[in-house]
Structures are given as structure tokens and as C-alpha cells.
Structure 1
């Protein structure tokens, strides 16, 4: 396909075509044409999870659906829509999602299928908000599942292995405001002495570090729902960490202009204008970058951070920024948060894939054996290890075989993992 690449530009797709069906009938017709297929979202994966030597199918031209139910506690949306497309519409109706990822640019179906998460001690991943979903299988059958159905927990974080996700129903709640508070230089020793206190100081908390120094992180970001009755508590914790209130707006990557970032400085704003780190109208993060992420149970979080700290000299030359944040447990089979609250260690790397891939085995060996890689980002753990760290893997493999017996949606990525 020549110039068809992923968002970061590190992957050229091998597919012979990219189809953009505009209706369910067109989509069904393309599936009926036969051959290998994969679904393509907003291209924000850094590995070949969405690649194929057959046809890529994007749902970005399908009918736009944003339908709130009569109880006003759920919204049904087209799988190809981005969170940034949905959020303002919900807000205009007085509604909100409980969580958003750092980027509003990602599609709902793609984010859910890969277990992408957002942040907050008391908040589940984006996939945890899924109440129901409708999938068109390779055979042309429409299947709709909802919470409580036998296969639901396996079909949500699906790695794109089951079919085309036509629509997803998400939990919603009344709209709310959020303020972001940013602090410079929290000390690592103090942070790790009581990590729960740090991650619990706000609705959503992130620690950013370049690991050019090992005594202190670069930034502590606290997103707090309004009204905010925790100012004194937050100030006391910042003082205990040796952190100072930022004297201006900050980008997660030190030295980068913060214009693309959502408003900070404790200025309240609507939920969808504060929960993401980046504004929809800007290129997020660094643009030219690679990403890896490992998610560990909270019980292993301090050991995981200490492992990264011990490799700081090896990591720092390749790193743009490391973000650490938390996610509540869920019951979804292939979710990194399956049956355990987790802490995510997210690495935004400089765009040197050969060097990053050379470093990752050392990093993966140093992390606790409970660390699960993010499905859409770069990792080098072998297939047996990945399967062992996901206790419902065999159940998911059986589900995939039942839904796609001809293996139409299986690509090299899934085959490497044993699917």
C-alpha cells in the first residue's frame, strides 16, 4: 500500500487494500469477499496488531451513532468514533464518561479491544465502561452481547480477533468538572514510601519522569473532580514529597511546548477538557515516538518502579518520558486489570525502534513476573510468557475459535501469541 502507516510512522501496513465501508451491508459485502481481514482504528498502535497481508477495514465512514438511552445512564456509539467526537455531545446532554485516556484521538472500538485504560485508583479502564457491544463476524452474523452474557467478559478486550465492532454501549453519568494541579520534582523515596497516598490524592494521578535523575520524578499531575475539598491535603502531600507547585503550564515531556496540553493551574473545566493530557485539535505527545507499557498489580508496583529506577542509566538515553498511573480491577478476560488493581508503567521512547527493542528484554526481565504488556504497544516477551500472565487466555482462545473458525481475523500478531 506504499504510504499507509501507523500513527507513529514506525510501521508500514502490508495490506493490499484499506476498505472504508459506509454501511453494514457494505461491510458485510467486504467480509464476504473472503481472505484475511483486520480492523483498523485510529492507527495508534505501535506494533502489528492491526496489520494483515489481506484487507484492512476502517469503520470511520460508517453511520454516526451517539444514542443515549431512556434512563440516561448509557450511550450507544459507533465503534469507529473517537472519544473526542463523543465527549462534547454527551456533555451537551448533561452527561459524561467516568474516564478518558490521555489522548481523545483514539477510537472507541480500538481502545476497548486493546484494554487501553485512562487513570484513577477508583476508576476502571475504558473497556470496563462497556455495557454491551455488537459485532459482525466474518460469516456475516451480527452478535450482540451485554453484561451478564456468557461470552461478554471475553469479547470486550478482543484484540480484534472476533469480528468488526459495529457499536458499543458505554456507562455514563451526570457531567462534572475537573481541575488539574501540576507539581515539580516529587522525591522518589517519599513517593515510594507511601505510593497509595500519592496515587489516591486525586481522581486521577500521574507521575512523569525522564529518569535522568533517580532522586526525584519530574512532575506530579493531579486531576481532581470538582468541587474540590482536598486542597489542604494535596498541599500537605506535595510538601511531604518535596514537590513545588509548577510556575506555569507543563508538557509531560520536559522542554516541549505545552500548548497542546489541556488546561492546568487548578483552573476547573469540563471533564473532557481535563481528563485527557492533550487537546483533540493538536498532535498529541511528541508525534515521532514509540511506546511500551507494562501493567503490574498494585502489590508489585513499588518493586516495579524500583526496577525501572535501577535501570535509569540504560533507559534515560532512549526515553522521552515514563508515566506511572493506576487503574481499578475489572473482570474482562484479557484486560491488564483482570481481577487486580493495577499500576501502569508507560514508556514513550525516542523513535529508535532497534535500540528500544534491544533494551526491552532487559527491562522486562527486571520487572516483576506479574507485569502484563499493553496489547497495542511494543514488547518482546515471548508468547508462552504472555499467555501465562493472562489466566483466561485458554478461554479466550476457545472463544476466538468459535467466533472465527476460518481464522479470517487472525494475523501474524495473533498467530505469534498462539491464536
Structure 2
């Protein structure tokens, strides 16, 4: 037996400690959340399974929570752990990206279908407060855009439902357009969101490769496809948001790395479109800036920024001014249960939700990340995503539900896992899959 040098043993041990600490952190926030809710310490956290948004099935008489899809999820996880790292090294680049996308789709659907087709997929976007509830009433899109802001604030007869009011109008328009082309109903909407969300398994590695680290891009494919956040990628509109913005970053990285003006502009347009899906996606800015810092191609912004501003101008001309919507949605935010959720808890408990979404491998990889240098593309992208989520949680405008809301940032934090030693990656993939399977079967998630 060949023993690793003491320094290496110590380093791997540190990875294990970091991964264990991540799970411990989640358990601590869970205990604090349970005690706060049970003892009613002057705070109403609202999620019954705080900090995660959902409830424990055992309390709702829904055990045993096992379905045929449970076996499918286990088979997918085992196959990925056994063959994922090897195939990531050996497959042709295009074939690897295709396999990564197929894996992500299969993994997301397997986890979602543990709850069955109706509850796991078809009902999610058709529930009360969701987008599909207003699709039929939107018959005039120009009128919808011009009058959208006037219906954001709550406690008026024609206020929009929660999710419609909480996002810019394009989030709802996507489902209107799907309905117009014949993809109506919750089932079709759910499938589209999964297919769009799974695109992160392609866009994130493509970005890393465009920035010059094809080896790490290959290693990233199984980690991104098998991330625990797949629980919330199936099914939520935030899955679509994550897929769209990841593609925007990938286009921008391809353009910035190759000096392609059209690709930079296309990336800017897609990211500009993204902020009309969710106000919080303005925080994709630090990740886009990470691309510029790595490539040192500041001129790329001369094409991307006008592309993004062109999208803003189009919607302003159509009658919706983004800043007005943002100001009104902040007002609506504090009209609801967010005003009751205590900042002292959620400012750090949000990070526990994020920890579950990215998994212990990403947390362990973070300890190997250089947060000061600009040479390693993965480190700079991870740093941009970390800045985004820290800004979001400190703002107080993200209190609970961030395991899905922060998916567009989480998919970039998962990249930290590729900084782990290659010989340990298979075990970390197993840990990622294990977290997803446990959470998905122990917790009844809303999304």
C-alpha cells in the first residue's frame, strides 16, 4: 500500500471536515428553526420545515415516501458515481455535453416523480398563486405589459397572485406563450421548466471551457448534473431562470474568450432578458464580471451592456419600466409574510438552504478556492456567485425559499467541487447524490 504524503492526508481530511461541517450547519439551522417555531419566540418563520420550504411528510401522514421513481433515482446516482468521472475524461466534448444534459434531465425527473406525476410535476405551476392561474385572462399582451405594474401591490381587487406580482412580467409571459403554441397546463409547463433548467449542465461547463480550463469543465459535468439542487429544478420557474441565465453567461464567455462581438451581444441580450424573469437576476452581474476578469477583455462589455440595455428599452417602450416594478415589488414583499419572517434567522439560515442545494462537495471545494486571485476561472466564477448570494441575503429581500430562488447562482457555486482531488471526486459525487435522495424522501418540498 502506498501512503499519501502527510500534507495530502491532512488536506483530504480537511475536505471531509468541511463537508461534515456543512451538514452540521444545516442541522443547527433546522434545530433553531424548530425551537423558534415550537416555542414561538416572538417570530413566525412560516416554513414548517425551516429553513427549507416544505413540511415533514411524517407529520402529514404521507409515509412511506417511496415510489418507483425512487429506485430510478438510486440507479441514476449509482451509475453516475461509478462511471461519471471516467466518462467525463474520455468522451468527446460534444458527446459529454449531450450525456450531461441527458443525465440532468433524468435526475431531475426521477426526483420529482417520487411525488408522482400530478403532485411532482403537473400541479406545481398550477397551484394557487402561481403563473398558470392568470394565463387565460391575458388576451392582450401590450395591455398586460403597460398595466402590469399597477397590479403589483396587494390588497386591491385586481392584485396579481403572489408569484406573478413577485416577478417581472416576462416570467408570466413565458407561460402565456407556451399556452399560445399549444403547450398549456401544468404538465407541459413543468416539463419545459425541467428541460430549460437542465441546460445548466451544458452552459456551466461550456463557460469554464471557454475560459481556458477544459479539464475542469469536463470534471464539472457530473457535479452540475447531479447537484442536490435538482430537487428544486423540478419543478419551478426558477429552473427556467437558471437555465436562461447560465446560457447567457456561456454566450458571453464564448464571445469574451474569442473576441466574438456577436456572441458578447447575444450574451448581454439573454442576461438582459433574465432580469425581466426575476428582479434578483440583476445579481448575475458579478458572475458576468468574473468572465471579464478572467479574459481581461473589458471591451466585451461594450457589446454585452448595450445588448442588455436594448432589452430594457424594448420593455420600457412597451409600457413596463423595470425600476418601477422593482420598487413596487419591494412594497408587495413587505405586505406579506416576509414582514413576519425574522431577519436575524434568515440572514444566516438562507445559507443553510443554499448548502443543501449545492451539496457538501461544493462546500468542501470552497476551502480550496482562491478568493483573491484571478488566474483560475473556476475560482473567479465561484467568487462571483458567492458575492451574489451574500448580497441577496444581507439585503433582507431573500428570506426563505432560497433553495429554489438562488438556483441561478447555486449552479455556479457547485463548480467549487472540481477543485477537490480527482481521486476523491467519485466519493464526493456519492455524497451529493446521498444528500439529494435523503432530502427528497424526508422532506415534502413545495417546489
Is this a same-fold pair by TM over 0.5? no
Relative to the length of structure 2, the TM-score reads: 0.25
More strand by share: 1
